[in-house]
Structure 1
Amino acid sequence: MGAYVSIRGWLECDEAQLAAIREITSAHEDDHYSNGWGTPRQHVNWTHYLFYGADIRESALDWFTDQITEIARIPASDNDGDLVRGLFLATHEVTGTTEWQVRDGQVFTSPADTRHQYLSE
């Protein structure tokens, strides 16, 4: 049957980057786990947020990490130079919780801080 990983987190971007993110997530549409992506009902002020929350099979991890890696590479869309940023926690049933930081055009992976341990209990 395989192990599951609980993924929850968000991305921060501007309007042009959000359009690029939607293209990427649409290209990875699987009619199942892709339903974990969501946005606020209505945009508020200048930063756009995109959230992900789902329990996925371990075998689908590459499907998700390929997306956030591609999203991280989206260039700045204006002179302020802001890239897409975000944070995800992934709790594996067996190996525990990992933190994925989307910043500086990359995805940085590290063991999650012990203060997030309550999320996997």
Structure 2
Amino acid sequence: MGMYVAVRGWLEFDHGQREQVERTLAEHRDDQYAGGWAFPARPFNSTLYVFYGGDIREQAVASFREQVAELARLNPVDDDLDRPVGFFLLSDERQGSTSWTIRDGEVADTVAPADLRWFAERP
């Protein structure tokens, strides 16, 4: 059957990248966990925050991570050359926790910061 992993996090984009983000996510729309992505209803402020929240099977984590990595590699759209940045916290039923930090086109896997590990604790 498999274990579930709680995945929650966000990526930050330039509003000019929204079309690229939507296109990338549409390529994965058949994925059973694609429904966890959320966009703001309308643009506001200067940053586009795209959120994800959902419980996914452990065997789907690698595929989901590759989707996040695709988004991390999106090309900058302005002279600042800013790449997407973000953070994801993953916790599993064994009370393990991992974090992904997205920066400079890369996804770095680390043990979740100690002050966030309480998310993984199950009563």
**TM-score, normalised with respect to structure 2:** 0.92
Residue correspondences, number? 121
Distance 2:90 2:31 in 1: 21
Hey, what's the Cα distance between the residues in 2 that align with 1:103 and 1:59? 25
Post-superposition offset of 1:30: 2.3
Q: Which runs of 5+ in 2 are unaligned?
A: none
Write the distance in 1 (CA, Å) between the matches of 2:107 and 2:91.
17
| Structure 1: 4+ residue segments shifted above 2 A | none
What displacement does 1:17 show? Answer: 1.8
* Residues 7, 52 of structure 1: 8 Å contact kept: yes
Q: Secondary structure of the equivalent of 2:90?
A: strand
Task: After TM superposition, give the deviation of residue 56 of structure 1 in Å.
Answer: 0.3
Deviation for aligned residue 1:95: 6.0
Task: Note the alpha carbon deviations across 1:60-118, whole angstroms, 9 max, x for none.
Answer: 11221111111111111110111111100011222611010111110011000111122
Match of 2:85 in 1: 85
* CA distance in 2: counterparts of 1:104 and 1:95, whole angstroms: 30
Aligned 8 A contact 2:95 2:120 in 1: no
Aligned to 1:114: 114
Residue number in structure 1 paired with 2:58: 58
Whichever residue aligns with residue 90 of structure 1, its letter is L
What do residues 32-76 of structure 1 show as CA deviations (whole Å, max 9, x unaligned)?
310000012222111101000000001111221111111111111
Give yes or no for contact 1:74–1:84 (8 Å, CA) kept in 2: yes
Percent same amino acid among aligned pairs?
41
> Following the alignment from structure 2 to structure 1, what is the Cα–Cα distance between the partners of residues 41 and 77?
24
Q: Is the 2:15–2:43 contact (alpha carbons within 8 Å) kept by the matching residues of 1?
A: no
